A and B are shown apart, each in its own frame.
Chain A
Amino acid sequence: MSEFRDLLSRAVNEASRLGVDFADFRLERTRFMLIDRRDEATSISSGYDYGVAVRVFIKGSMGFAFTTRLTTDSIINALRRAYSMAKAVKGNLPSPITMDPAEDYYEAPVKRSILDVPVEQKVKDLLEFDKIISSKPEVKSRTIRYVERVEERHYASTEERYLSEKRELVYVYASVFGLREGVRASAHIVKGTIKGYVVWDKYPLEEAAKELLNRLEVQLRAKTPKPGNYPVVLAPEALGVFVHEAFGHLAEADLVAAGSVLRDKRGKQVASSLVTIVDDPTLDDGFGTIKYDDEGVRTARATIVERGIHKDIMTDRVHAALFDVDPTGNGRAESFRYTPLVRMRNTVMLPGDYSVEEIFRDIKFGYYIVATGGGQTNLDGSFQVGIEEAYEIVNGEIGEPVRNLSIAGNTLETLFNIDAVGKDFQLFYGRCGKGQLVYVSDGGPHVRVKKMTVGGR
């Protein structure tokens, strides 16, 4: 049972006494550590972030306040401030859907808790990784960040839902800058896990270093592509970014309500029949693997596209009410300082029937896109994904590396142009910004797109 049960229950009682339509409280504590290495300089930072967020819904308005003090008085004070904000105006927000009372405490299982491993060991591992990558003469500069978080979230609402969830998260980012014969290049990798301090078991140091160095080597040798429209094969890492950035955002209920191209598309074909895309909070070891969201909703898989047909959108409580659909548990907030928004969790394309070889076989000339530097979408359905590792495809074979390109286009057109989906599958780790940063995963198999706009010099 959560040590904060009494504190939260007093706050809930006070909210009920005030006469709100609905109110909820999020008490959060996050222990954070960062080991930061920039070339030869290492520094260690830590933080202890805690506070309580309060939301109050009254007659179509939502008031929000938070406090950084974990006492009954300050929580009640925040409640009163949120209450008076909500009362100040008669709004037109739909009432959030409500649920049955519930009580739960869930701790995501870890193999080895990060709290059981001394900081000296973590520094040692990072320095060993750094030693491998710095040994290459073309590597002129390195930046490595190891981030760990122990997240505790305690939720309480006027529905008498008391839900606590705890998990550990590790995130490693490494970037290198290389210079050889006047050619400049850079590359990066991101690794993650929520299984404790197992990141270097999951990605052995030598392999991760090799992957990063290979990415740099490819960039140093690469030529620039010709801009135009070509067949493209997306590897799982690049596909993951596409599925998240180009498509996933368009299926977030608040953006659907705001006029994204998926509005009024439910039940209609929005992609090739080979395409199934889900946002799945139950995947093993994903950054978006959570039991409850930040609105106390039990998370459920959202099947956004099933064999080309648009089915679910991702919702929070308010938008589930607005669209009259079941809640999916996509309400997430960066911290107690923010109100939850509709956010993704683990967004992936499900595998199909093609072997990876078959996917390449019939391409005379095209591009194979492996890794990206991220991407961005707009509600009109246009997307851009910047590419970090890519190759030419010549007569079904992977050819010369290319650099400085992006893929862009219309997301739905692109999804219709997918004509082969691989059997393979991989999951990747990152953070997504929508005014607030949250930890997410994305991924999928290899896929082939008949035609895509490739920008390059």
Chain B
Amino acid sequence: MSRRIEPIELAVLAVRWAIHEGATEAEAFTLVERGYKVSLRANRISSLEVVDDAGIGIRVAVGKKLGFSYVTGLDRDAVREAVRNAVKQARAAPEDKEWRGLPEPSPSYPEPGNMYSPALAYMESSTVLENAKYMLDRALETKGVQVVGGGTGVYVVERAVTNSNGVYRVDSGTMAFAAIDVLIQSDSVTTPAIYELGSSRVSFPSLDDVVERAVEKAKQCTKRAEGVSTGKYTVVLSPGVLYELLAPTVLYSLRGDIVVQGRSFYADKVGQQHLSEKITIVDDGVLKGGDNTWRFDGEGVATSRKVLVEKGVVKGFIYDTYWGRRAGKESTGNAVRAGYASKPSPGFTNIIVEQGDASPDELLEGRVLVIYQVQGAHTANSDTGEYSVLANPAILYENGEPKGWVQGAVISGNMYKEIMNNVELVGKLVEKPYPGVYMPWIRLSEISVATKS
């Protein structure tokens, strides 16, 4: 028998072995990832990579004691050892009184569509390379442009999960991305490096679009805007900045595990309006062609669409099975894994702030600071909502015209308060700054800005 065992078959074996070793419940998750990746660095193609990764993560319970173990590759002997480790660790762990078991199979599973493309799955490495080359050449056409980084890639991913309650699911999908990081250097100025990304499940994203967005923003930084002093300003945040500031604050507080831990700002505010009525936030695991769309989550529960905030009113939170049960709720299909090496925990699928009705002209009216990127959003305080980040670049706009880069502008405030009180307008245009993140442009009033002058 030289036939290579299928990942799901190995997962089934792993679950059986775990029960045999003394586990009362067991789950196995396999991930196989194949593809090509071309990296750009310092105006060159720096590497051409073949991606061929596979592994298995095994979660077991011995009564209410829990263990998890993973191993690279899909080698039977190694998996068997990982199973033994998981059971051994569970025995060594203190009891988790809150444990109420692995999930049952969902009554039905969605068919979201546009998750897999044979054209991407069978794309030649030479196409991925040509695309990277095209982006590099295209970016370097503009005088002074330096390509700091970026690249292109295409992946096929196969996920399988099975458990001792009868969950048995297999899914596969494709994904392509193109990203570039550019700056413009002249005698008088080095602009900030601007990062832009495009991604798609079924085709190569537009390379021209990615390059143009990055170069256009860098160009606006070649001129400096003087005379912007410390004070309160109306700011327009790009979709990427909106996401980066929401992620550690508002989105953190919409996670069910954070709610159960008592750390969520919204824990006791369901049904109340605690964000601007212009804000609606949706987690959509079944979004057609969404970057993070799958038929089931990291523990085999059907994915779904959830309105978490509707016109500023907090509606609910995302849960996996464990944290859902602790909260007395069902899983929302949000058990997310960062690969086979991680246990499932509550995380977002495709996260959406719904579009508003403001046109670009309305967003840019008057004297505003348009913030394309921020540095240090990860230092925002999740528990308080406080942030203090460098807007880089912040561009001064007057009546819709860019007037130049405001260097060294630090914006600070409290996202929980400002998303409630300071939202003036939400734009019509929704962009995807990161895979699975769908956000509009947004205009906020009275934001504290510290500058060097």
B-binding residues in A (CB < 8 A): 38-51, 55, 61-69, 78, 81-82, 85-86, 88-89, 91-93, 118-120, 123, 127, 140-141, 143, 177, 184-186, 227-229, 254-255, 257-259, 261, 318, 337, 339, 372-387, 403-406, 408-410, 453-457
A48-B81, A64-B50, A88-B129 known; A93+B89 contact, CB < 8 A = no
Looking at B85, B383, B413, the one whose CB has the most chain A CB atoms below 10 A away is: B383
Cα of A377 to Cα of B149 in the assembled complex, Å: 15
- The yes or no answer to B204 lying at the interface (CB within 8 A) is no
With contacts defined as CB atoms under 8 Å apart, how many contacts are there between chain A and chain B in the complex?
290
Give min CB distance, B188 to chain A, whole Å.
12
A398 to chain B, nearest CB (A): 21
**Measured CA separation A386–B386 after assembly (Å):** 10
Q: For residue A241, which residue of chain B has the nearest CB?
A: B379
Contacting pair B408 A409 (CB below 8 A): yes
Asked if B9 is at the interface of the complex by the 8 Å CB criterion, the answer is no
Chain B residues with CB under 8 Å of A43's CB are 66-68, 93, 96, 343
Chain A interface main SS type:
strand
- Nearest B residue to A451 via CB reads B452
List of B residues within 8 angstroms of A68 by Cβ: 52-55, 72-73
A50 to B379, CA, bound (A): 33
Is B98 in contact with A120, judged by CB distance below 8 angstroms?
no
For the complex, what is the distance from the CA of A53 to the CA of B127, rounded to whole Å? Answer: 23
Distance of A44 Cα from B86 Cα, bound (Å): 8
A93 to B89, CA, bound (A): 47
Interface residues, chain B, CB within 8 Å of chain A?
A: 36, 39, 41-55, 66-73, 75, 78, 81-82, 85-86, 89-90, 92-94, 96-98, 125-126, 129, 133, 146-149, 183, 185, 190-193, 230, 257, 261-263, 265, 341, 343, 374-376, 378-384, 386-390, 392, 407-408, 410-414, 448-452
A384 touches B376 (CB 8 A): yes
Chain B residue contacts of A91, Cβ below 8 A: 44-45
Specify which chain B residues have a CB less than 8 angstroms from the CB of A120 in the assembled complex.
92
**A64 and B49 contact, CB distance less than 8 A:** yes
Complex contact A380–B191 (CB within 8 A): yes
Asked if A380 and B383 make an inter-chain contact with CB atoms under 8 angstroms apart, the answer reads: no
B42: which of A40, A78, A257 is its contact (CB, 8 Å)?
A257
On chain B, the residues within 8 Å of A119 by CB distance are: 89, 92
Q: Are B125 and A88 in contact, with the CB atoms below 8 A?
A: yes
Q: In whole angstroms, how far apart are the Cα atoms of A257 and B379 in the complex?
A: 28
Chain A residues, Cβ within 8 Å of B379 = 372-375, 384-387, 406
- Please state if A375 and B44 are interface contacts (CB–CB under 8 Å): no
By the criterion CB–CB under 8 Å, are B413 and A457 in contact?
yes
Are A455 and B410 in contact, with the CB atoms below 8 A? yes
Question: Which of B46, B69, B262, B411 has a CB less than 8 Å from the CB of A45?
Answer: B69
Chain B residues contacting A92 (CB-CB under 8 Å) are 44-45
Pairwise interchain contact B42-A254, C-beta atoms closer than 8 A: yes
Shortest B241–chain A CB gap in Å is: 13
**A457 and B48 in contact (CB under 8 A), knowing A68-B55, A69-B75, A383-B390?**
no
Most chain B beta-carbon neighbours within 10 Å: one of A229, A375, A385, A455: A455
> Which residues of A sit under 8 angstroms from B46, Cβ to Cβ?
62, 93, 254, 318, 339
User: In the complex, are the beta carbons of B78 and A44 less than 8 A apart?
Assistant: no
In the complex formed, the residue of A with least CB distance to B193 is A379
Q: Which residues of A contact B70 (CB under 8 A)?
A: 45-49
CB-CB under 8 A from B382, the residues of chain A are 186
Task: Evaluate contact between B412 and A404: CB separation under 8 angstroms.
Answer: yes
| Cβ B383 vs Cβ A254 within 8 A | no
Closest to A42 in B: B94
**Could you list 30 A-B pairs, sorted by A, with CB under 8 Å?**
A40-B96, A44-B89, A44-B90, A45-B69, A49-B71, A62-B46, A64-B50, A85-B36, A86-B48, A88-B48, A92-B45, A93-B45, A123-B94, A186-B263, A229-B452, A258-B148, A259-B183, A337-B51, A339-B46, A375-B376, A379-B190, A382-B408, A383-B390, A384-B374, A384-B390, A386-B376, A386-B379, A406-B388, A453-B452, A455-B388
Q: Would you call B190 and A261 a contact (CB within 8 A)? A: yes
Note all chain A residues with C-beta closer than 8 A to B78.
48
Q: Are B376 and A48 in contact (CB under 8 A)?
A: no
A403 x B146 contact (CB < 8 A): no
> Which residues of chain B have C-beta atoms less than 8 A from A258's C-beta?
41-43, 146-149, 183, 193
Contact of B375 among A65, A177, A384 (CB under 8 A): A384
A382 near B89 (CB under 8 angstroms)? no
CA distance A374 to B96 in the complex (A): 33
* CB–CB A47/B452 < 8 A: no
Q: Are A410 and B408 in contact (CB under 8 A)?
A: yes
Once bound together, how far apart are the Cα atoms of A374 and B90, in whole Å? Answer: 34
Chain A hits for B410, CB < 8 A:
227, 384, 406, 408, 453, 455
Chain B residues whose C-beta falls within 8 Å of the C-beta of A457 in the assembled complex: 386, 412-414, 448
- Is B67 within 8 A of A44, CB to CB? yes
CA distance A85 to B48 in the complex (A): 6
Complex Cα spacing A64 to B50, Å: 6
B341 touches A259 (CB 8 A): no
Pick the contact of A228: B51, B75, B378, B450 (CB < 8 A). B450
Chain A neighbourhood of B383, CB < 8 A: 177, 184-186
When the two chains form their complex, are residues A127 and B94 in contact, meaning their CB atoms are under 8 A apart?
yes
Name the residue of chain A whose CB is nearest to the CB of B66: A43
Query: In the complex the two chains form, is B384's CB within 8 Å of A185's CB?
Result: yes
Q: Are B341 and A61 within 8 A (Cβ)? A: no
